[in-house]
Structure 1
Amino acid sequence: MKKIILPTAILFTLIFCCTIISVAQKAVSDSTIVSDSTKEKEKISIYAGAAYSSRLHYYGRTDSLKSSAFLTTVIIQAGKHFSVTPTFIFIKNSNTNFDYAATIINATYSFGKKKGVAGSISADKFFYKDQSKLVQAVQLGQASFTLSYLNKIVNINTGASAAFAKDDIDYFANAGIDHQFKFVKKQNIFLIKPAVVANAGTQNFTRTYYKNNGFPLLPPSQQMVTETSKKFNLLSYDIKMDVIYAIKRFIVSVTPGYVLPQNVIIVPNNPSLSENAKNLFFCNAVVVYRLTK
């Protein structure tokens, strides 16, 4: 069973990493919103960061090895709207001790203000340690956009993405609400943002993984997996809370969360080929340091 589920840990890491990149960029953005607007904005700002996740998951779907991840990243912010973020990913589980797994290059264009409509457009490219084993099992790149309506009562957030594999494309969408509590005292900035998010999408990644790795599926099960994978279904509910503290050049973000997976693929009479999913508590942590003055 571990041989079947282990390679998908890379996929979970990539999804988590995209989230961490977003959290880190959001932490950088939120900390500058409350800065002195009379100061001239730098054209180029560079941040170095590190992140850790206590448990990797893909919309509540987990590997059998209880993998966690450590990431190092650099955020290059060009003006107010554009950033490029390379991130290096290391996995830890019962079979490996923080082994290098992959690199992601993210490019994001953000727009909008702290009130009203805001959003972002982004693209990710994934590079793997061992493409001979992983290139057919995981997604190669992703394009995304987000759109939010920001106000004093509750922020309404939506987003969509397309994830590209070798033979298939998965489509995802999400919708949620959050509210930001902000406290500022001199150079200290403290933000708390509880959020609830519903995630939906296709699951072609599972069917492609089975196909390309030669796992035996009898015709009835094969047809069921194919039909289920292509359906656009609710995948999970996320309940989480961003806690962000910024002082001078340092930004620290901690995000505890709880995920409830939905519409999990089950292969009848073959639990080793079924998706491994359960309600899960996790915690992500990010530390960012601004290198430029």
Structure 2
Amino acid sequence: MKFGIRYSDTGVADIVTIAQAADSAGIESMWRGEHVLVPREIKSIDPYYARGLPPGMERFASLDPNTLAAYLSARTESMRFCMGVNLIALHNPYQLARVVATADIVSNGRIMLAVGVGWLREEFDIMGIDWATRGSRTDEAMAVVRALWRDPHPQFEGKHFHLPPVTFQPKPVQASPPLYVAGLSRFAFRRAARHGDGWYGHDLSVSEAAGIMRRIEEERVAADRMDHPFEYTTRAPHDISPAQVEEFAAIGVHRLVLDVGSAAFDGLSVVVSRLEKIGKQLVSAQ
């Protein structure tokens, strides 16, 4: 089992301390989501909190996860960094491919990307992106960034993106930084199976995760992609027990992303102590 952590602090000194403590504890990865803009008036319903305004959203502050990952890679030794969840449909995929490739190069191949279609319609409206097309834009954007990362002379022709043959250099250190798909809808399961290198879930019980994984495996069979490497990741609380970890491992989960809290709200010493405990009780047991 691999262990990642979620973090959302904006104090750079605290973030560096957390990253270095996690790296020392043997934690595999740090995961950070994004919102480009946060409207002051939100009517959209967050599917994970079942309310229009998730806790703390009204004071939400965020750093760009791609830039931050590149910076933190220089302050750590081996830990990987995942932009998750990245709202790829909001981005120009040509620019995003360049940013992620650069982060992968400066980190010597330690970058991952987890993409989702998003839930905050007002953010899409402000940025001029058609909410109704976000699913198909996500699929095409994933194909575009992969083509740019992998192909000698990338090109792509789709409904949303039209890329003539171009030169894209330098390539990432990794042949292609992993692209995971996040989400709990049937569309997300299908997208992960058909286009992803893995799936990223949200605070699920073992039985819930097992049911979803069975559905994704069926989709992978239907898409004839069972020979493609695929990882299952889901979030969990920081105080998960070793026995619970074994239950997730038994159903085929490859990675647990643990919510270790925030230095801004829980205190830096509390977060660091949680990381140390994870290293001693969970990482060292693997």
TM-score (norm 1): 0.29
Q: Which has the higher contact order (CA 8 A, sep 6+)?
A: 2
TM-score (norm 2): 0.30
The structure with more helix, counted as a fraction of residues: 2
Bigger Rg over Cα: 1
The structure with more strand, counted as a fraction of residues: 1
